[in-house]
Structure 1
Amino acid sequence: MNNPDTFFDSAVLSALISSCCFVYISVDKTGFPKLQVIDGANATGIIDDSTGLLVEGYAVLERDKNKNPKTEAYFTKGDTWIYRKGDETPERIKNNVPHPLLVPIVFRPDAVRPFGHSRISRACMDIVNSAMRTVKRSEIAAEFYSFPQKYVVGTDPDLEPINKWKATMSSLLEFTKDEGGDKPQLGQFAQQSMSPHNDQLKMFAGLFAGETGLTLDDLGFVTDNPSSAEAIKASHENLRLIARKAQRTFGTGFLNAGYIAACLRDNYPYERRQFYLTKPKWEPVFEPDAAALSSYGDGAIKINQAIPGYITQDKM
């Protein structure tokens, strides 16, 4: 009822960018819980490390055209206070929920940073800034590469200076001999090579790939030989481990949001331990191909041959 096609994707993407996003739970006109994702720049709170829920929270629900807060909310156990710009007294909305109606969705939390770490780390930003400087230097070098510098020696200093722009763009120039029969000598400096800039950009791409768990193919540097499905999976092993860890933490956050929404819907303070056996079901990180499905089938047949009836239709 809360548009899961966009709700989960927006919550995950916001948590990956800002390390943490929040789900604001309210009631619509029909009395059914309504979920709204708020990014980490517009919400905060005091988190309970053991449950992942907030002790109290604050969120900016609406901003004006100048990005100033227009509607704010303060969340506590059993109460939600709505502060609207221009109103002297806040609106109090009572509920029968044992936790605030603001639930954090955290990416990579730890003991030092309970609100997690952003996928965009400091190292990623430094590498991208270095890559941008390399691109700017390559743009400057490309101008000299397209129009290499030329020189003329042996001209008469008493003659009118050469028009540099005309000399650069003209397809035919004429230089006459002087009274002594000498003539100027023309030359051209060696062209600058673009290879050092390309190699440096590829080096930064490799550093960025190592920091994020990606590969050079993901960043646009295509390898000569196309990899097989198994090789692609092996190269993305670090990314798969990051995704698995994110699924565990995101699953806890979404479970907390569902728990709070159920308490609000039924107007009953359920205990959180009633949901501890609930496990979120995620789609595979890598979709299995035909070869993988065939290997899974062979493994299931061999297991059933060793232990008859171990894998049945109910255990698939």
Structure 2
Amino acid sequence: MKGVDKVSEFKGMGYLKRKLATVRPRVLMRYRQYASKYHDSPVGLTIPPQIRDRYRAVLGWNAKGVDALADRLVFREFANDDFGVNQIFKQNNPDVFFDSAVLSALIGSCCFVYVSADSDSANPVRLQVIEASNATGVIDPITGLLTEGYAVLQRDTDTEAPLLEAYFTSTETWYYPKGGSPYSIANPAGMPLLVPVIHRPDAVRPFGRSRITRSGMYYQRYAKRTLERADVTAEFYSYPQKYILGMDPDAEPMDAWRATVSSLLRIDKDDDGDRPTVGQFTTASMAPFTEQLKTAAAGFAGEMGLTLDDLGFASDNPSSVEAIKASHENLRLAGRKAQRSLGSGLLNCAYTAVCLQDQFHYARSRFVDTEVKWEPLFEADANTLTLIGDGVIKLNQAIPGFVTGETIRDLTGIHGAENTKPQITTQSEVVSDD
């Protein structure tokens, strides 16, 4: 490509386009899984394909597994904000931006934030979430930032052909409109203006792992097949097949629909006084399908850190808040891990936005004190507040001022009065009151 492929230290836009073409089908497949629009290949020996198509099952377990975690990842703010990062995000519709970034990262294993400047607007820095099916790059394993990136900023709604492409480097951004001449814009930030937000990265998968796992897709496919078989069997369960033995071949044929829905059938004796034997085939039981569905639900729930209650199999006794937390321990651990990995990407996004806003490449070490704050994964109820309150009193009695209002907010999510000071009660005061 013009102006960029000649630079030896970069892999080039052509390489990144080929890389995106290899991962895009897998990302789109998971988006279809999330939207319950993915068509599973027909598997089975007993049900003909034309019959199976009539009873195609639709199940939203993968969407439930993603939303159960995404709805609990609520971004609060950037603490120790020395560079005015919170103000930048407030100007970019944070209620939609953070939810969109978290959901896209959980589905596609990562998402990308396109950072751009707009000097003619009251908002000098614009942030746009781009899903993993439209962007990629070469990642720096130390900082988590890209050394170069590529994104499709606009596609044709009918053909999905790229209408506007962009290639990002640390010094400039090249734009390639369809049918137009390429042009570049200088980048004063000092790093590519395409920032990855990654879910559960590791040394093998630097761009993370999707919340929609292969085993989760298997259990949903297994449950869909069970529902389809149950649907077909229900037709025979509703209208059992009947048979007649010893019918005279010369007798008038009986209408099949009348024989199925009629509550009374009249069959006369023949000339010899014999009469045919009427019977009914034993109907198949629906119980095995229910057990199969519960087996699939149990496997899927174990994979996603959910319970059978979350998938619609209600338990006999309602659970308390503490019991719900205990049963969702795996979900809580997954949420804490997601907060750490996604928080690192959001912090990189804030760092890039500040550098672009001030048109100065700050040292990455200047942002080490800035922290990403999340709301608690589980909301505190009255019983939890009581337990936390008792614990805070005892800790502050042992170590005065150890637990502050900010700590309590991190535990409960309740934003109390500003500038509050903990009231310390000494042991002598407690004894005198008694």
- Report the TM-score, using the length of structure 2 for normalisation: 0.71
2:176 paired residue number: 83
The one-letter code of the counterpart of 2:161 is N
In 1, distance between residues paired with 2:240 and 2:183?
71
2:98 paired residue number: 8
In 2, distance between residues paired with 1:313 and 1:160?
89
Bigger shift: 298-307 or 133-142? 298-307
- Cα distance, 1:308 vs. partner? 4.1
- Cα distance, 1:311 vs. partner? 3.9
- Report whether the alignment pairs 1:130 with 2:130: no
Bigger shift: 57-66 or 299-308? 299-308
The one-letter code of the counterpart of 1:185 is T
- Cα distance, 1:162 vs. partner? 2.3
1:174 paired residue number: 266
1:196 paired residue number: 288
- How big is the alpha-carbon RMSD for the aligned residues of Structure 1 and Structure 2? 1.4
Residues 119-147 of structure 1: per-residue CA shift (max 9 Å, x gap)? 00111111111111111100000000100
- Cα distance, 1:303 vs. partner? 2.0
Residues 240-276 of structure 1: per-residue CA shift (max 9 Å, x gap)? 0000000011111111111101011011111111101
Q: How does 1:171-250 map to 2 (within 5 A)?
A: 171-250=263-342
- Cα distance, 1:169 vs. partner? 2.1
Equivalent of 2:194, from 78, 98, 102? Answer: 102
Q: How does 1:137-148 map to 2 (within 5 A)?
A: 137-148=229-240
2:166 paired residue number: 73
In 1, distance between residues paired with 2:297 and 2:188?
52
Equivalent of 1:17, from 89, 97, 107? Answer: 107
- Cα distance, 1:195 vs. partner? 0.8
In 2, distance between residues paired with 1:98 and 1:280?
23
Bigger shift: 175-184 or 47-56? 175-184
Equivalent of 2:148, from 56, 67, 89? Answer: 56
Q: Which runs of 5+ in 1 are unaligned?
A: none
In 1, distance between residues paired with 2:396 and 2:175?
60
In 1, distance between residues paired with 2:151 and 2:406?
45
Bigger shift: 272-281 or 55-64? 272-281
Equivalent of 2:205, from 90, 113, 134? Answer: 113
Q: Which runs of 4+ in 1 moved over 3 A?
A: 307-316
Q: Count matched residues.
A: 315
The one-letter code of the counterpart of 1:74 is Y
Give the match's secondary structure for 1:281.
strand
- Report the TM-score, using the length of structure 1 for normalisation: 0.96
In 2, distance between residues paired with 1:309 and 1:123?
48
The one-letter code of the counterpart of 2:286 is M
1:285 paired residue number: 377
Give the match's secondary structure for 2:371.
coil
- The sequence identity of aligned pairs, in percent, is 60
The one-letter code of the counterpart of 1:117 is R
Residues 40-84 of structure 1: per-residue CA shift (max 9 Å, x gap)? 000000000111100000000001131100000000012000100
Q: CA distance change for structure 1 residues 313 and 55 in 2, over 3 Å: closer, same or farther?
A: closer
- Cα distance, 1:297 vs. partner? 1.1
